[in-house]
Structure 1
Amino acid sequence: MLTVASTIDRAMGGLGEVLKWALPIVVALAAAVALLRYGFSLGYPWLSESFVWLNGAMIFLGAASVYAWDGHVRVDLLYRRLGKRGRAIVNLVGTVIFLWPMLAVIAVKGWPALVRSWSLLEGSPSIDGLPFLYLMKTAVLAFCILTALQGLATVLRSLHVLLRASESSS
């Protein structure tokens, strides 16, 4: 159980390490857009879209690695005070009851738009925009799959804690 969870954690951590190198590119592109627009009164839709889309892709693809590092937002009123077993129960229930169903809804509801986008090889609605909006829409499905996979690591780790706790109490 822990081997599978650790493998998922390492994979998501590695993805996060790769994605963090895109952040300076996003910042440079945003600075270039601002400089061109406000310094030289020039606007390029493809350049504006490039940093917005890259930033969106980083968020969608990096969410699972943030989850792996336990860097997500958590309402921590009680969680901090719980023991290892209590935290495992919260993580298990939260993943099975909230995370996975939410990801399933996003994936199911987004699937028709994704299929349509790929069938059209959909591009930007702007005339001079980027030609691959279908890839950005694919990042939504990737978010669902990667985050659900990281949820599996959480479930396995939680089950390990709970099973170990029940073995030691018997």
Structure 2
Amino acid sequence: MLDAILWFFQNVGLAFYNFGYALTHPGLWLDWSNKEAIMRFVYYGGSVELFFVVFTAFLVITAFGMWKTGFMWGVVRVLEGFANTVGRFFAWAGLIMVIQQIIIIFIQRIFARPDIVFGFGIPLEFDISWYAEELKLYNALVVTLCCTYTFVQGGHVRVDLVYSAVGHRAKRVIDMAGSLLFMMPMAVLTWMYGWYFMWRHLIVPKPSASDGLDRLLLKSRALRWNVETIGFSPNGFNGYFLFKILLVAFAGMVFLHAVAFFYRSYLEWREGVGSVNKYLDKDSLGEGEEAFEGTH
């Protein structure tokens, strides 16, 4: 037990050094013309070192924010603004998905063409099945990159057994516990799984979560890019590596919003009922919104 406690505080202390060293030596992990730099990036992206850098940063920002609540509100506004901006932009993928499906139906049923060609000179030509399978990508963009936006807007379904029956301060305690015990751990586990899952479909030799830095640096001698381009059908969509990237992006955004949600819940608990939805940038349906929401 004592060894575990010592290990924990040792890693928290080393987080400051590791963060500073990474900032002052970017070439060691960002110079991707060097194969060893790529492997360092792969290793540290799913490492204990990165976890403690993020964890320590969270502790420092939280402590400072509890002292200066204006700073914490600023963090909340930035993180919620990021979620809203990304979500509002990629929500258009849903419209693109519908339009493309309509085009596919017209090309197949009316013009009886097996492919769709775009462009002049050197055209972009893919089989109909490629475009049909690509629709999954638009759906994935909406699911992964609009998730935190929907959370900010209060659009997720809440299974409420206790929440509505308790007071304001109890609700904020439940929200803080939920962000710390459920959102953050889920995001970390998804990141750890998704990070190596992504890189195993981008490079060879395939990295593993069990590989240490020394072993990955040895593997870097034979490293080459091997981006996944295999589809489910011969002429189908061949960019499935993009789904792995979206999984990592989803985990990162959920973690960031878990931080924002914890901070908002804490501030609303501290400042009282009058601070509920303070600075919240929530979309409006326009005139008659209240009547529409009342039917749901």
TM-score of the superposed pair, with normalisation by structure 1? 0.86
Q: Give me the CA root mean square deviation.
A: 2.0
Q: Which residue of structure 2 lines up, in the alignment, with residue 161 of structure 1? A: 268
Aligned equivalent of 1:150, options 220, 241, 257: 257
Report the Cα offset of residue 38 of structure 1.
5.1
Give 5+ residue unaligned stretches, structure 2.
Answer: 1-71, 115-126, 204-225, 273-296
CA contact (8 A) 1:123 1:129 kept: no
| SS in structure 1 of the partner of residue 202 of structure 2 | helix
The question of 1:59 aligning with 2:143 is answered: yes
Q: Which residue of 1 aligns with 2:153?
A: 69
% identity of equivalent residues: 24
Q: Does 1:122 align with 2:206?
A: no
| Aligned residue identity for 2:240 | L
Moved over 6 A (4+): none
Of residues 163, 166, 171 in structure 2, which corresponds to 1:82? 166
Residue of 47, 72, 91 corresponding to 2:131: 47
- Say whether the 8 Å CA contact 1:67–1:147 is kept in structure 2: no
Residues 94-148 of structure 1, C-alpha deviations (whole Å, 9 max, x = no match): 1111111112222212222200112221124233233422222100010000111
Query: Per residue, is there more strand in 1 or in 2?
Result: 2
For 1:137-162, what per-residue CA distance to the aligned partner results, in whole angstroms no more than 9, with x for missing partners?
Answer: 10001000011111111000112133
Greater fraction of residues in helix: 1
Report the TM-score, using the length of structure 2 for normalisation: 0.51
Cα distance in 1 between the residues matched to 2:249 and 2:137: 15
2:186 counterpart (102, 105, 115): 102
Does 1 or 2 have the higher relative contact order (CA < 8 Å, sep 6+)?
Answer: 1
CA–CA distance in structure 1, aligned partners of residues 201 and 165 of structure 2: 47
Q: Give runs of aligned pairs for residues 24-39 of structure 1, distance below 5 A.
A: 24-37=95-108
Larger Rg: 2
